[in-house]
Amino acid sequence: MKRTTAAIVVGLAASIAALSTVASAQASEPVEANVRLSAPIDISCPETFPRACLYPGDGNSAPAKVSFHRKFASIERVCFTVRFEGDLVDPGEWVIFSLAGESGAGFQNVSGAPIAARELCYAEGFHDEELGLFMDGKQRVEVYMGQGSATLASVKVHITAR
């Protein structure tokens, strides 16, 4: 009886180990893109509240080319990390990300202090159309000011894909 129980336990442990290996092989790993950006770059929106710069334009945007040098079968999320230096994103100012020439997601500084860095992610199930733009492994992105001014120092883009 002891040998049978031991064999079942060993067999069960081997099955669990095999499943764990398969699960870890299928786990998503973030892939960082090559981002071409002439940084640092000053971006500013001349409009004041209640008006805003709703689209990228001369002086208020920093265009960047993003390339992952590969295609993706499916994408779980795309995350942008932006860093500012000198002129930071002050309270009340907002930054927008434009994908494929369309206005996109962004953030407003609602804190009481300037922001030097921020991450923004598009996630599967919420932003499927935007994620689809990255399936070929490249995309044109513009970071622009909706209100205010800032000096963009860098942009990093990560994709978590299967």
pLDDT tens digits, 148-157: 999 999 999 9
Alpha-carbon torsion, ordered 117, 159, 132, 64, to 10 deg? 50
Map residue 87 onto helix, strand or coil: coil
> In this predicted model, what pLDDT tens digit does every residue of 53-83 receive, in sequence order?
888 888 888 888 888 889 999 999 999 999 9
Res 127: pLDDT: 87
Res 39: pLDDT: 67
- Cβ of 62: how many Cβ atoms within 10 Å? 22
CB 118 within 8 A of CB 82: yes
Report whether pLDDT(32) > 90. no
DSSP state of 33: P
What is the rounded distance in angstroms from the CA atom of residue 162 to the CA atom of residue 155? 23
Report whether pLDDT(7) > 60. no
Mean pLDDT of 30-45: 83
Q: What are phi and psi of 158, to 5 degrees?
A: -125, 140
Extract the tokens encoding 4: 């049978």
- Quote the mean pLDDT of the chain: 80
Query: Could you give the angle at the alpha carbon of 151 between the alpha carbons of 160 and 38, nearest 5°?
Result: 65
CA 3 to chain centre: 54
Extract the tokens encoding 119: 């991450």
The residues spanned by each domain of the chain are 29-161
Share of the chain above pLDDT 70, in %: 81
Report whether pLDDT(2) > 80. no
Confidence of residue 23 (pLDDT cuts 50, 70, 90): very low
Note the residue count of the chain: 162
Mean pLDDT of 119-136: 91
Strand partners of residue 107: 95
The CA-atom distances, in angstroms, between 68 and each of 2, 7, 41, 96, 162 are 55, 48, 23, 22, 14
What CATH architecture applies to the domain 29-161? Sandwich (2.60)
Kindly report the pTM of this predicted structure: 0.75
Report whether pLDDT(162) > 90. no
Please choose, from the candidates 84, 79, 83, the residue with its C-alpha nearest in 3D space to the C-alpha of residue 66.
Answer: 79
